[in-house]
Structure 1
Amino acid sequence: MVTSEVTLPDRIDSDIDRLVEQDDFLNREQAIEELLSLGVSSHNAAGESEEELVDDVFTQAVDDQQDPANHQDDQL
């Protein structure tokens, strides 16, 4: 694992402390790692073209609207 040193604004540092204190994360290291991962994932998703995003939303909407009667065998 790579170790990096960053300088954070006081507000961000306080937010991380608060999240750890609220038991959203086990410790600061886990909080920082997960929050950075979410930021990178969000940034990558923002890089998708609008057409790709529309296709993904359309596909998900169609999948969500499938007739449950067609999947009765899955529930038996």
Structure 2
Amino acid sequence: MPDVEVSLPDRIDSEIDRLIEQGEFLNREQAVEELLSMGVSAYAPTEEEDDEEKLFTQMTDDQQDPAARQDDEGDEYTL
């Protein structure tokens, strides 16, 4: 695993120490790794983009070809 050196503001450093003291993390290394992972995950593509694509494909899938419909109304023209 690559080593990275980061300068943090005092308030964030204190917050990490507080989380470790409260037992949220076993040690500083685990805390920094998990918190950075959570931050990077926040920038990952969201489900909303997939939902928009699904909405488009659903709309096109819901459309029916009039020639493919199976109406029991006969050959009469109806409004």
What aligned pairs does 1:20-59 form with structure 2 within 5 A after superposition?
20-45=20-45, 48=46, 50-53=48-51
Specify the structure having the higher radius of gyration (Cα). Answer: 2
How far has the Cα of 1:44 moved from its partner? 1.1
* Structure ranking higher in helix proportion: 1
Q: CA offsets, 1:5-45, max 9 Å, x none? A: 00000010000000000000000000000000000011114
Q: CA RMSD in A?
A: 1.9
Aligned pair count? 53
Q: Secondary structure at the match of 1:43?
A: coil
Distance 1:4-1:51 versus aligned 2 partners, 3 A rule: closer
Q: CA offsets, 1:41-63, max 9 Å, x none? A: 11114xx47442565xxxxxxxx
Structure 1: tracts of 5 or more residues without a match: 56-76
1:72 corresponding residue in structure 2: none
Q: Please tell me the residue identity of whatever aligns with 1:34.
A: E
Structure 2: tracts of 5 or more residues without a match: 55-79
